[in-house]
Structure 1
């Protein structure tokens, strides 16, 4: 039995790790903000990009969120509490996806390729994922973020595979499209069946 590629490059958030949506909704409501406002603000490019490119630490990113939410709420103390709650939103690993990737590791390297902050390593440890992947390419550590072609090339190189022999899985279409332009096989992840269809061994 084999796989039709030499490496699996996989996103982390939105494929393997998921944040509790009910807690996000509760925070919006508790602070009198529109549904989705906290997440939209926190992940806005102007605030998030410096963090995922490693120009600032995760702690500095959270400080910038406090400043932004203080303006929205009119209270630095409430903003600090909001950001503390936001940072503590529960997360879980999709065990079905994890099992599929572990099965693929019997045949090829699996590399996580993620736009992340400097807290990624701590998060992986807390979730029992530190030694799961064969390698981790974190945007905050390499200073390049998806969909920049260089992060895909770096991930393929670390996996020891040519780009055209890599399978790339991500929940964001623009990231998958960038991988496909390099010759990779792309999977736009929406649920576990998308991963299953790509990762089932042949023969």
Structure 2
């Protein structure tokens, strides 16, 4: 049985609409004598990450914890904080091809939401990247209080989009999120890069 045509699109932020240049973190790590990859490794450790994604800890508190974990490596709390602050000044880059896709979808009458596991600086990031007003809704896990891939997250996203799950197409670069969306009744596509856009455009048009 064929699925209903999607009338709403839910797009992930990091890894889809926003890209990160790994050279930025690598440069900070070299400058401060840190092991390559350690900033992301500490920040993404689940014990630090999960509370900030559900709004129980602020972005500032999260980064303070990362700095604390760096102290043994740099030998000085002020230097650890400086490394984290320098790293955090870079807020990523918009994928122009994905943004064009979002704009075309909205112009065609498709409601588009940003569906992201994010922190309390998301609105500031969207503004800094020129994305304010480019989406119909923003579904931020730290506001919702639950993160992808939980079914409750996708229920909240569909409610925000005012669209039943069967008519929402979700795009994410993480398998767990894609599987979670499908469990919640959404159509979901595992993003591998801008080469997927032709397929996604056809999926929305069919």
- 1:37, CA displacement in angstroms? 1.4
Instruction: Name the residue aligned to 1:160.
Output: 162
| TM-score, normalised relative to structure 2 | 0.92
Q: Which residue of 1 aligns with 2:119?
A: 117
| Cα shift readout 1:21-69 (whole Å, capped 9, x = no counterpart) | 1111112222223321111111111111111111111111111111111
Secondary structure of 1:69's counterpart equals helix
Hey, what does 2:48 align to over in structure 1? 47
- What secondary structure, in the 3-state scheme, does the structure 1 residue paired with 2:205 have? coil
Q: Give distance in 2, aligned partners of 1:20 and 1:193.
A: 19
Report if aligned partners of 2:91, 2:125 keep a CA contact under 8 Å in 1: no
Offset of 1:90 from its aligned partner?
A: 4.7
Count of matched residue pairs: 201
Deviation per residue, 1:88-133 (Å, 9 max, x gap): 1252100110001111112210011111110000111111111111
**What residue number does 2:27 align with?**
26
Consecutive unaligned residues of structure 2, counting only runs of 5 or more, are: none
For 1:35 and 1:195, the matched residues in 2 are separated by 33
For residues 129 and 176 of structure 2, the distance between their equivalents in structure 1, rounded to whole angstroms, comes to 27
Instruction: Supply the distance in 2 between the matched residues of 1:161 and 1:42 (Cα, whole angstroms).
Output: 34
SS of 1:96's equivalent in the other structure is helix
The ranges of structure 1 where at least 4 consecutive aligned residues each deviate by more than 6 angstroms after the TM superposition are none
Match of 2:105 in 1: 104
Displacement after TM superposition at 1:190 (Å): 1.5
**Which residue in the other structure is 1:169 paired with?**
171
Secondary structure of the equivalent of 2:171?
strand
CA RMSD between the two structures: 1.6
Question: Would you say 1:202 and 2:205 are equivalent positions?
Answer: yes
> Are the aligned partners of 1:17 and 1:93 in contact in 2 as well (CA < 8 Å)?
yes
